[in-house]
Each structure stands twice: as structure tokens, then as C-alpha cells.
Amino acid sequence: MSTIPDSYKEHDGPHIPLPKPNMQGGLSLWDALARRKSGRRFSEAPLSLEILGQLLWGTYGATRVAREESFFFRTAPSAGGLFPVEMYVSVHRVSSIEPGLYHYSVPRHGLTLLKEGDFGKELAAASLGQGMLQKSAVNLIWTAVLPRTFWKYGERGIRYIYMDAGHVGQNTYLAATALGLGCCTIGAFFDEEVNQLLGVDGTSETTIYMASVGKSY
């Protein structure tokens, strides 16, 4: 490969800026670690836009910029600083946001609308009938853009991609815990069905991990 791939994607479409993350207050790291657990029972209460923004930034947001403002360090580490993971958000119940499938923009800390509608039923069906995907306020879907890692590490890069996804998943758990939300990550799903929903080809970009998040009861 003659050029280094970009470390993030951007999509055309309606864009929703998210509130800047609040760095003050909240649980300590140690409390969040002690309280972290998988929760599958969600209430129907919506998330606020502020809470969603905080969750997404804590999961995979930009912490600082380098390389002439074209490279963004994240809240999660990545092998070689390549950041192959992309984050999509299936919104079901968030105040002031219509249900739909969105892509998280790292540079702009916002959401770009890809498809309108509530896709909880489709995601649950693609995930072997896991009903929590229909009941959560949001579902986070992580893909891997394989060339970002393979150009440097070759086939060994597949190991690093899944390590990266694990870092992102743990960030989600800790951020959700600190925000008083329930969270459960998901590894059992039919790749092709989720890829089709996202509009990715399953070859250069493919779904690798998901999480359901919402208010617990």
C-alpha cells in the first residue's frame, strides 16, 4: 500500500453535534471498576443528549490531535496508533434525536444519520434473538476497517484488531457504569446481516462487536 489509510471515516448526511464531554465529577475509576457488570434489563426511559455524548466520547472519543490536525488520539489505545475500529449507533430512545442508525464522527464528536428508523428488532434477530437489543436505549456497533491495520502488520493484524475492540468495549462498560447506565457487550451475531444493515461490504470493513446500553431497572 503506497499511502497510509486514514484513521477515521466521515459520512455525508444530516449531522447532529454532541455536547462536549464533562470532565468533572462522577464516579472514580476505582468505583467504576468495582461496580462494572453486564446488565441486560433496560427501562424505557430515554437517554439525554448529554449522557449519550458523554458515553460515546468515553468509549472512543478524541483526546488530542496531532499530525497537522488530521490524526486523533482516542480514549482507547490502538496497536500502532492505527485505530481500525469505527463506531455506529442504533438510536432507539434518546431525547431530541430521532430513532435511526448513525455513524459516530471522531473529528466532530457528533452523529451522522445513515438510516431513519428503529432497528432494534433487526439487530435482535441478527443476534440470535437477544431481546435486550430491542429494549436498550442505544446499541453500539463496532466495525473494523481491515486495511488500516493490515497495511502495517499483515495477517497478524487480525489479533490487534480484536485487542483494540476489547479496549473499546471495556471503555464502554466503564463509561456506562460511571453514568449509572446498564451495559452488555455482544459477540454472538450473524456478521452478514449486521454488515448489510450498516451498508459495509464485510471484506474491507466488517462488524466485530456490539453493545446494548440503557437505563437499568
Burial of 44 (0-12, 13-18, 19+ CB in 10 A): exposed
Residue-level pLDDT at 25: 84
Say how many residues make up the chain. 217
Residue-level pLDDT at 118: 97
Residue-level pLDDT at 17: 98
Report helix, strand or coil for 70. coil
Q: What is the CATH number of domain 15-214?
A: 3.40.109.10
Per-residue pLDDT at 3 exceeds 80? no
Angle of CA points 142, 64, 68, to nearest 5° = 105
Separation between Cα atoms, residue 24 and residue 12, nearest integer Å? 33
Residues 6+ apart with CB under 8 A from 215: 42, 43, 45, 47, 137, 180, 181, 182
Mean pLDDT of the chain: 96
Residue-level pLDDT at 86: 99
Residue-level pLDDT at 11: 96
166-181 pLDDT tens trace: 999 999 999 999 999 9
Per-residue pLDDT at 1 exceeds 60? no
**Interval 29-44 mean pLDDT:** 96
67-97 pLDDT tens trace: 667 789 999 999 999 999 999 999 999 999 9
The helix (run of H) or strand (run of E) holding residue 157 is helix 157-178
Residue-level pLDDT at 217: 83
Per-residue pLDDT at 53 exceeds 80? yes
103-150 pLDDT tens trace: 999 999 999 999 999 999 999 999 999 999 999 999 999 999 999 999
Residue-level pLDDT at 26: 85
Residue-level pLDDT at 68: 66
* Neighbour tally for 209: CB within 10 Å: 22
Report helix, strand or coil for 104. strand
**Interval 15-25 mean pLDDT:** 94
Residue-level pLDDT at 5: 84
Residue-level pLDDT at 98: 97
